[in-house]
Amino acid sequence: MTFNNLGLIEPILRAVEEKGYSTPSPIQLATIPVVLEGKDLMASAQTGTGKTAAFVLPMLQQLNGRQRVQGGRARVLIITPTRELAAQIQANIQTYGKHLNVSSAVVFGGVNVNPQIKQLRRGVDILVATPGRLLDLFQQKAIRFDSIEALVLDEADRMLDMGFIPDIRRIQSLLPKNKQSLLFSATFSDEIRKLARTMLHQPAEIDVAPRNTTVERIRQRIHPVDKSRKTQLLSHLIRENQWVQVLVFSRTKHGANRLVKELGKANIRAVAIHGNKSQAQRTRALADFKHGKVDVMVATDIAARGIDIVQLPHVINFDLPNVPEDYVHRIGRTGRAGNEGEAISLVSADETKQLRDIERLIKRNLERQEVEGFEPGHQLPASRPVGLEKKSRNNRKPEAHGKWGTKSGYRNRGNQADPKPRSKKTGVAPAWNASENQRAVS
């Protein structure tokens, strides 16, 4: 299957080709025709699956050749939880829309509002925004919503995590009723489904569901180590293996700062990215990391969400996340777009519970490997064989990325925001497989 079969116009196909993409990802295959038909949809896909192009390409097409929008207005509104994601979506719009005459702007908090107000004065076809700043701009009358024809809500589950749902509901109440709405989320909890029911009209439901493939494709192992020796072990691993472009996860902002300092003392160039950093600092950190000026980026879970760095070879969990699903999100930053990756966790004895929760979630025990010279004084208890454990109610399959161009399953339940039946055991609606070249129609 190529992009040519999706009903996209030539200037968009050309831009996609120039970007070097030949095969649409499963989410793109399933989503693009549905959006072009003007339908609402809810799609389950996380960062790394190619979901941005899945909504940007058809939206650009819908806007192509239209008359200029009036000042202070937008036609398509894309709402996303983080500044980084907003900036990346805008970059995608520019890349894929470079042969079209479609205008766009991005607005997010943490930076001066005045240039954004000025930009909106002329009106834009596509406005990409984070929720808080969008509401600010609305209150300041810098933007009116009466020309909105389509709404894209990106990463709805993260919006929920970050407390944005009341803002989303408020924005939604201000938008015209008659519009196309798309909702993307990595997971569909009851709360997200509730939101979907109020937002979407007879949505096509798309679930690109190669749920276990991240876990399968990424080489994962843990190094048991005493807590007090983790930094030393990390420096040792980086030096010994001559790693560059290492993404290290830290549970706390403070821990991230401390680690950067300590790595610096060991002459390892590192930078931290977390919620206490200003937008300018984050942008610089990301650029330095992407351009190889620093070798290590230490990130907290929230800050890392949505960062688009393709083909990261190594992801290190300096500590394990408290929420096991975050482990799957973290390791999903490697092995993206079909590449192999390596995820290593430094685990101390006090993290036994977190480790057990993760192994239960991914339904496998992680390979353990002690590093010579760093054998722990406080031993990690042996893992329980996960297959033999009693099924817990939270024993859900991890959401994960698939290798593009291979078979993937997606679900399209059309006309139902809350499909039944749900599996009683897992609380997750059963998915069925469909070949990638089957089109999603409702």
Residue closer to ligand AMP (CB basis): 59 or 259: 59
How many residues lie near ligand AMP (CB under 6 A)? 15
Beta-bridge partners for 297: 247, 271
Minimum CB–partner distance for residue 44 and ligand AMP (Å): 13
Based on the shown chain and the rule CB under 6 A, indicate whether residue 35 belongs to the binding site for ligand AMP: no
Q: Which residue in 12, 21, 154, 160 binds ligand AMP (CB under 6 A)?
A: 21
Using the rule CB under 6 A, which residue among 26, 33, 42, 50 binds ligand AMP? Answer: 50
Minimum distance of ligand AMP from residue 96's CB (angstroms):
10
If the CB atoms of residues 61 and 365 are measured against ligand AMP, the closer one turns out to be: 61
- Single out the residue of 51, 73, 314, 333 in contact with ligand AMP (rule: CB under 6 A): 51
Residue 196 and residue 202: Cα distance in Å, rounded? 10
Q: How far apart are CA 6 and CA 33, in angstroms?
A: 6
Three-class secondary structure of residue 191 per DSSP: helix
For ligand AMP, the closer of residues 192 and 307 by Cβ is 307
Among positions 53, 60, 160, 361, the unique one binding ligand AMP when judged by CB under 6 A: 53
Rounded to a whole number of angstroms, the minimum distance from the CB of residue 119 to ligand AMP is: 24
Task: Work out whether 80 is an interface residue with ligand AMP (CB under 6 A).
Answer: no
Cβ count within 10 A of residue 213? 17
Contacts of 196 (CB under 8 A, 6+ apart): 42, 156, 183, 188, 203, 417, 418
Binding flags for ligand AMP, 298-337, as an x/- string (CB under 6 A): ----------x-x--------------------------x
The residue whose two tokens read 């030393």 is 232
> Checking phi first, is residue 420 left (phi over 0); if not, alpha (psi -120 to 50) or beta?
beta
Asked whether position 52 contacts ligand AMP by CB under 6 A, the answer is yes
- Residue 264 beta carbon to ligand AMP: minimum distance, rounded to whole angstroms: 29
44 touches ligand AMP (CB under 6 A): no
Pairing state between β 180-185 and 41-44: parallel
Q: Which stretch binds ligand AMP (CB under 6 A): 4-12, 21-29, 131-139, 274-282?
A: 21-29
Residue 48 or 376 with smaller CB distance to ligand AMP = 48
Q: Which two tokens stand for residue 377?
A: 């004084």
**Cα 261 to Cα 406: distance, rounded to the nearest angstrom:** 43
Q: Which residue is nearest to ligand AMP (CB)?
A: 52
Q: How far is the CB of 2 from ligand AMP (least distance, A)?
A: 10
Among 31, 44, 47, 365, binds ligand AMP (CB under 6 A): 47
Q: Angle at CA 338, nearest 5°, toward 383 and 186?
A: 65
Counting contacts by CB under 6 A, is residue 402 touching ligand AMP?
no
Give Cα 263 distance to the centre of its chain: 28
Which residue, 396, 259, 422, 429, is CA-closest to 323? 396
Minimal distance, residue 49 CB to ligand AMP, in Å: 5
What's the CA gap between 352 and 361, in Å, rounded?
A: 14
State how far the Cα of 155 lies from the Cα of 160, in Å rounded to an integer: 9
CA dihedral for 276, 398, 58, 311, sign (positive or negative):
positive
Q: Does 157 interact with ligand AMP (rule: CB under 6 A)? A: no
Interface with ligand AMP (CB under 6 A), residue from 6, 8, 15, 25: 25
Q: Which is nearer to ligand AMP, 28 or 408 (CB)?
A: 28
Looking at the Cβ atoms of 20 and 381, the one nearer to ligand AMP is 20
Rounded CA-CA distance 105/85 in Å is 13
DSSP state of 366: P
Q: Rule CB under 6 A: is residue 103 a binding residue for ligand AMP?
A: no
Binding residue for ligand AMP, selected from 48, 97, 224, 255, defined by CB under 6 A: 48
Does residue number 24 form part of the binding site for ligand AMP (CB under 6 A)?
yes
Stretch that binds ligand AMP, among 23-31, 144-152, 210-218, 353-361 (CB under 6 A): 23-31
Interface residue with ligand AMP among 31, 49, 317, 365 (CB under 6 A) is 49
Classify residue 381 by its DSSP letter: P
CA–CA dist 41, 412 (Å, integer): 9
Alpha-carbon distance of 46 to 63, in angstroms, equals 25
The region that residue 368 occupies, defined by phi over 0 for left and psi between -120 and 50 for alpha, beta otherwise, is beta
Site residues, ligand AMP (CB under 6 A): 21, 23-25, 28, 47-53, 308, 310, 337
